[in-house]
Structure 1
Amino acid sequence: MSNANAEETTRNGKLRFVEPHIFAILFFFIVLMALCTRVIPAGVYKRIPIEVEGAARMMVDPTSYHRVERTPVSLLGVFMSIPQGFAEAAAVIAVTFCVGGAFGVVKRTGAISIGVAALARRMSRRGIMVIPVLMVAFAAIAAFIGTQELSLIYVPIILPLMLALGFDSMTAAATALCATTAGFTGAITNPFTVGLAQKISDVPLYSGAGYRFVVLVVLTSVTILYVMRYASRVRRDPSKSLVRETDVRWREEFAEEDEAAHTRATTREILAGVSAVLMFAWMIWGVLAWKWEMVHMGGMLLAIGLVSGLLGGLNPNAICRAFEEGFGEVLLGAMIMGVARGVAVVMTQGQIIDTVIFYMARMIQHIPPAVNAVGMFVAQSGFNFLVSSGSGQAVITMPIMAPLADLVGVTRQVSILAFQLGDGLSNIIFPTSGYFMAVLALARIPWDRWLRFMLPLFLIESLLGSVFLVIAQLIGWQ
């Protein structure tokens, strides 16, 4: 699409900005970080082992920072960081392929198109209400288990429905991404952020849930209203959509399926659809009750595709071809996650991640006490660009931020909330967040278009987060 735009611009004789490909953006950041390894002093904290909910993790010793010999990343290292990024992001990449394959098979059975058509007919007059219902459910799941990567599964399910109801692919992506982010940020018992941060900070596990619940409700409510406002505007006037060109392709692909969906569903199609729904519910239960991880989710998704394919009447070859097509549809998203991880790989090899957090902490010490909590929030947001993993950020920053909070008069509970907000809200802004960029790829939404949609909401949520931090500090929230 970019090349076509460039040719059109040349023919018209007008200069027009053409958005860079996401790989170009990510490679730019990899090169930039490689250059930083030649400028920023190398330094490290010692790591000490801790155990959280049966999992061993390495936490930094906040008093152990020291300079080490600089290890700048070479030109070859820049290119090696990309395959290394694929290796480190292997679990999420595998799940992405499993999502694509499973839904490729279910779609081939006709169950998705028939189910979407039925829902669209039933909800044609009150279709807008599907957005708050879905977003509350997605936010609640993320608030308790903290798995934002479930957005990768939500989007393929709700995208056809959103288009059938007169919305656009941006609405579908926002319903999944914004809801899971609100839940992940205002977490109640998220073990990857709240649980880990409270253990590191020597704060009672999952204490302060009442105040966090208020944060969760406010963030989720504001997010729902924002998405519904955009969706209503697009439904009234499709020209207001930020992804009109993308949705033309989506609607063309769904056109043949829509024609078939007007026929009466066969027994096989019903069995395929029902089995997929039940097994998907089983997978969500497994994540909630049995703490299933990425590998479990990937295996379950493959089982969903196989079972629904067999019940839907597909022969083994047809099932394999559907899996193959599904893998192809998510290839870009999977590749984005590996390339995005290369940024962190370069910083780790150059030994500058610990240096960045060391100097961030020193800067916060010089901020006036009244805004120290907000300063922590800003610092955590900036660090999230470098380390997008919630648990990864917790084990690096919280051993430093918790004692720093004692020094500057901020309660440790408030410092944990600052970490939650900083880590959570920016997860669907920065291109270094692999799962986020993969979701955009699944929905075929360019990153710059997403920013046009998301930045106002991000600023609103950041302002609300700052207010919550100031209030928490003023009331001495423990």
Structure 2
Amino acid sequence: MAKTEKKKKFQMPHIYVILFLFSALAAIATYFVPAGEFERVPGPDGRETVDPNSFTQIESTPVGITDFLTVIPRGLIDAGEVVFFTFIIGGMFMVLRTTGIIEIVVDRLANKFSKRSIFLIPILTTVFAVIATLIGTPELALVYIPVIMPLMIALGYDSIVAASVSLVGPVIGFTAGVLNPINVGLSQQIVGLPVFSGIELRLVLFVIALPVGIFFIMRYAKKVQQDPIKNSLVYEEDMEKRELYKHKDNIEMRTMNTRQKFGTVAALLFALVLVYGVLNEGWFMVEMAGLFIFMGIVVGLISGLNATEISEAFTKGFREVLMGAIIIGLARSVAVVLEDGRIMDTIVNALGSVVGEMPSVLGAVGMFLAQLTINFIIPSGSGQALVTMPIMGPLADIIGVTRQTAVLAFQVGDGFAHILFPTSGYFMAALVIAGVSWQKWIRFYLPVFLVLSGIGIVMLIFAQLVQWTG
């Protein structure tokens, strides 16, 4: 017994350690991987893209000790938009919690859905997936998570259920890209295809992949609801949330006072402004963060808080997301190292060359694997498209893969990994807001990712066999 107790289970290193090691390995690689670059030329909508025939080796610039000492601060600076968005959304929702509005609304919704709570999961996941597949904004998970988290906790689920509904649905919709301008529209423009052509096969991917994602979420959610101590991956982390949002069946529900009612209306109006800005004005994190600052102030004042209480609530919210904000900067430092060493283009060129050596029947799968690998260092969908598709388009012609299939390989390789790699800024910010560590998330999501990737590979093989042109 004593010997057994001494045996320690393997524990994943702290996420700080993991990301630091990634940065260190990238720095070491700059001494062995030849530096190189593509020429940048104007692309669709005035964006810069690469000339696929322009790759040349250049003078090596390995990252030394002095340079490496600065990569983490520079990573934080480069990821400043995501870092400060994370702070502000954390502060704003703490203000809403301080007003008491969230607790009252959650209690009412939990009472209404207490006997059929499981149906909320497929409904919300589908809604979020449809939004993402039409407008291409999986980053809206940053807004979804704090909104649905209290309700999911009150209904007996955990933080991973709230995070998975908010992340898995949008990433499936984004990957399928039925009318997604960010991955499909841009990629098809780059390789010379009619924009949004081939919609039928993308719809099939959406219809197959979404129920699979929902199944995994519901299976986990049911286990958590039945026995949270045994089955929840974040039982200890959720203790404070369970106490805060606990649904009290036998106690008369509180009602909102007049000021809280007006505050709720104001919050809903801000939400409508947010939707309009994202859909019609192209708002992203900076604009949303600015809106959230004013939302916290206005809703707080209307609901009865004074200026000091609002300020202290913002500060408390900032503290709760501090660790996650630092993680985002650490993740960005990996790309900073690769850019300093000027080996990012070399890696992209090498992966393209490897794919070019594959038999045509495996070419599409090779493109998927190449895009999946590149996603680790270029987690932005549009950024990856601008770097890789000018190479993958002509390469597809050479190895006998249709350009439509090459776009699909990009979608699948880029999309499902958006919520896998810790180098993805918005994803790590979402985990911070959810209060879920990357290590715990991987335990939940890795099986989902493998199954979804398997579906994507089958679709690619089918597209290759029928020489899909859309």
TM range (shorter): over 0.9
1:360 corresponds, among 337, 351, 368, to 351
Cα drift, residue 476 of structure 1: 2.6
Superimposed CA distance per residue, residues 145-172 of structure 1 (whole angstroms, 9 cap, x where no aligned partner)? 2222211121111111111101111111
Cα drift, residue 81 of structure 1: 1.4
Partner of 1:468: 459
Structure 2 counterpart of 1:15, one-letter code: K
Partner of 1:310: 301
8 Å CA contact 2:263, 2:303 repeated in 1: yes
Unaligned runs of 5+ in 2: none
Give the Cα–Cα distance (whole angstroms) in 2 for the partners of residues 310 and 398 of structure 1.
Answer: 50
Superimposed CA distance per residue, residues 38-91 of structure 1 (whole angstroms, 9 cap, x where no aligned partner)? 011111111112242xxx321110000111111001112222111221222222
Partner of 2:188: 198
Give the Cα–Cα distance (whole angstroms) in 2 for the partners of residues 172 and 26 of structure 1.
Answer: 25
1:164 corresponds, among 141, 151, 154, to 154
Partner of 2:277: 286
Which stretch shifts more, 450-459 or 33-42? 450-459
Partner of 2:360: 369
8 Å CA contact 1:112, 1:273 repeated in 2: no
Cα drift, residue 234 of structure 1: 1.2
Partner of 1:439: 430
2:389 is equivalent to residue 398 of structure 1 = yes
Q: RMSD across aligned C-alpha pairs, in angstroms?
A: 2.1
8 Å CA contact 2:154, 2:245 repeated in 1: no
Give the Cα–Cα distance (whole angstroms) in 2 for the partners of residues 417 and 224 of structure 1.
Answer: 22
Give the Cα–Cα distance (whole angstroms) in 1 for the partners of residues 13 and 283 of structure 2.
Answer: 37
Q: TM-score, normalised by structure 2?
A: 0.95
Instruction: Among all aligned residue pairs of Structure 1 and Structure 2, give the percentage whose two residues are the same amino acid.
Output: 46
8 Å CA contact 1:373, 1:414 repeated in 2: yes
Query: Quick one: structure 1 residues 345 and 104, their matched pair in 2 at CA, closer, same or farther if it must change by over 3 Å?
Result: same
Cα drift, residue 257 of structure 1: 11
Secondary structure of residue in 2 paired with 1:59: strand
Superimposed CA distance per residue, residues 397-441 of structure 1 (whole angstroms, 9 cap, x where no aligned partner)? 100000000111111111011101111111111111122122222
Matches within 5 A, 1:100-119: 100-119=90-109
1:65 corresponds, among 25, 32, 55, to 55
Cα drift, residue 259 of structure 1: 11
Give the Cα–Cα distance (whole angstroms) in 2 for the partners of residues 253 and 79 of structure 1.
Answer: 41
Superimposed CA distance per residue, residues 295-315 of structure 1 (whole angstroms, 9 cap, x where no aligned partner)? 221122122212211211111
List structure 1 runs of 4+ shifted beyond 6 angstroms. 256-261
Cα drift, residue 377 of structure 1: 0.5
Partner of 2:178: 188
Partner of 1:4: none
1:423 corresponds, among 414, 420, 443, to 414
Superimposed CA distance per residue, residues 267-296 of structure 1 (whole angstroms, 9 cap, x where no aligned partner)? 222222232123213312321222222222
Superimposed CA distance per residue, residues 307-326 of structure 1 (whole angstroms, 9 cap, x where no aligned partner)? 21121111111111111111
2:450 is equivalent to residue 459 of structure 1 = yes
2:6 is equivalent to residue 16 of structure 1 = no
Partner of 2:311: 320
Superimposed CA distance per residue, residues 197-229 of structure 1 (whole angstroms, 9 cap, x where no aligned partner)? 111111112222222122122211211111011
Superimposed CA distance per residue, residues 447-476 of structure 1 (whole angstroms, 9 cap, x where no aligned partner)? 222111111111110110011111222233
8 Å CA contact 2:44, 2:189 repeated in 1: no
2:224 is equivalent to residue 231 of structure 1 = no
Partner of 2:70: 80
Give the Cα–Cα distance (whole angstroms) in 2 for the partners of residues 349 and 261 of structure 1.
Answer: 61
8 Å CA contact 1:113, 1:257 repeated in 2: no
Structure 2 counterpart of 1:221, one-letter code: P
Partner of 1:6: none
2:331 is equivalent to residue 340 of structure 1 = yes
Partner of 1:50: 43
Partner of 1:29: 22
Q: TM-score, normalised by structure 1?
A: 0.93
Secondary structure of residue in 2 paired with 1:48: strand
Give the Cα–Cα distance (whole angstroms) in 2 for the partners of residues 258 and 382 of structure 1.
Answer: 49
Give the Cα–Cα distance (whole angstroms) in 1 for the partners of residues 116 and 69 of structure 2.
Answer: 51
1:128 corresponds, among 93, 111, 118, to 118
Give the Cα–Cα distance (whole angstroms) in 2 for the partners of residues 395 and 167 of structure 1.
Answer: 40
Secondary structure of residue in 1 paired with 2:43: strand
Q: Alignment length, in residue pairs?
A: 467
Superimposed CA distance per residue, residues 360-386 of structure 1 (whole angstroms, 9 cap, x where no aligned partner)? 111111212112111101110011111
Structure 1 counterpart of 2:150, one-letter code: P
2:208 is equivalent to residue 215 of structure 1 = no
Which stretch shifts more, 23-32 or 244-253? 244-253
Cα drift, residue 390 of structure 1: 0.9
8 Å CA contact 1:114, 1:261 repeated in 2: no
Partner of 1:295: 286
Secondary structure of residue in 2 paired with 1:206: coil
Give the Cα–Cα distance (whole angstroms) in 1 for the partners of residues 248 and 413 of structure 2.
Answer: 42
Structure 2 counterpart of 1:32, one-letter code: L
8 Å CA contact 1:168, 1:241 repeated in 2: yes
Give the Cα–Cα distance (whole angstroms) in 2 for the partners of residues 33 and 258 of structure 1.
Answer: 54
8 Å CA contact 1:43, 1:355 repeated in 2: yes
Secondary structure of residue in 2 paired with 1:328: helix
Which stretch shifts more, 66-75 or 275-284? 275-284
1:240 corresponds, among 226, 231, 240, to 231
Secondary structure of residue in 2 paired with 1:244: coil
Give the Cα–Cα distance (whole angstroms) in 2 for the partners of residues 79 and 179 of structure 1.
Answer: 38
Unaligned runs of 5+ in 1: 1-8
Which stretch shifts more, 367-376 or 434-443? 434-443
